[in-house]
Structure 1
Amino acid sequence: MLKPHRHHPLWLAYMLHRLSGLALALFLPVHFHVLSMAITRPESLDHFLSLAANPMVKLMEFGLVFLLAVHFFGGLRLLVLEFLPWSPGQKSLAAASVAGAFLISGTFLLRAV
């Protein structure tokens, strides 16, 4: 059974920020490995980049940009909570952050397809 505070929209924003940060942290070693291929094995990088045309990879890129945008806006939300007085409209700001993340990642997806 979920505790009552876990039904609060800002708790969901808290969890989304933590999970997006974890997913981005797991992605970084893969990203650095691919970047290192540009220096050490350019032919492997060319093969790897040819896979980027796959629609599933485009969808995964959308997810990555979404996570990055969610984490960015979640960080801004935390800065607001830390340095500005609490206001009733912060639930709306949290929802606007998720909407902004969808807008940014959706724009990326539309341009990538």
Structure 2
Amino acid sequence: MRGHRNHPLWFAFMLHRLSGLGLALFLPAHFLVLSLALSDPALLDGFLHWADAPLVKLAEFGLVFLLAVHFFGGLRLLALEFMPWSGRQKSWAAGALAGAFLISGSFLLNAV
């Protein structure tokens, strides 16, 4: 009964859902920090100084990775909806994951 959960495309489905959840949890914090530019610029400066820490840069890598995974997962879903699909679905899902690593990895290399 659980055989479908061993399929690589089920993992792509779950990764897309989890990346969307992670991004949704990040957005309120992002908007809060953006609001500091208008309400408390000194606090924003303190936050930006804290954001230069290496651990925060690594977390930014994770955030960009989630964004890239979610973007490519969305493209995969659009392809499932609108394109005739063949047996290469696993390759497309793996390519989406590789593209996410490429984008987030290049961000990490430029951010450090």
Task: Give TM class, smaller chain.
Answer: over 0.9
State the partner residue of 2:105.
106
Render the CA deviation track for 1:34-91: whole Å, top value 9, x for unaligned: 0000011000000000011111000000000000000000000000000111211111
State the partner residue of 1:96.
95
State the partner residue of 2:27.
28
Gaps of 5+ in 2: none
State the partner residue of 2:71.
72
- 1-side partners of 2:48 and 2:24: how far apart? 22
Query: Please, what TM-score do these two structures have when normalized by structure 1?
Result: 0.97
How far the C-alpha of 1:100 sits from its partner, in A, is: 0.3
Aligned residues: 112
Query: Please, what TM-score do these two structures have when normalized by structure 2?
Result: 0.98
Runs of 4+ in structure 1 deviating by more than 3 angstroms, as ranges, are none
- 2-side partners of 1:13 and 1:35: how far apart? 32
Gaps of 5+ in 1: none
State the partner residue of 1:4.
3
State the partner residue of 1:51.
50
- The farther-off stretch of 97-106 and 2-11 is 2-11
State the partner residue of 1:18.
17
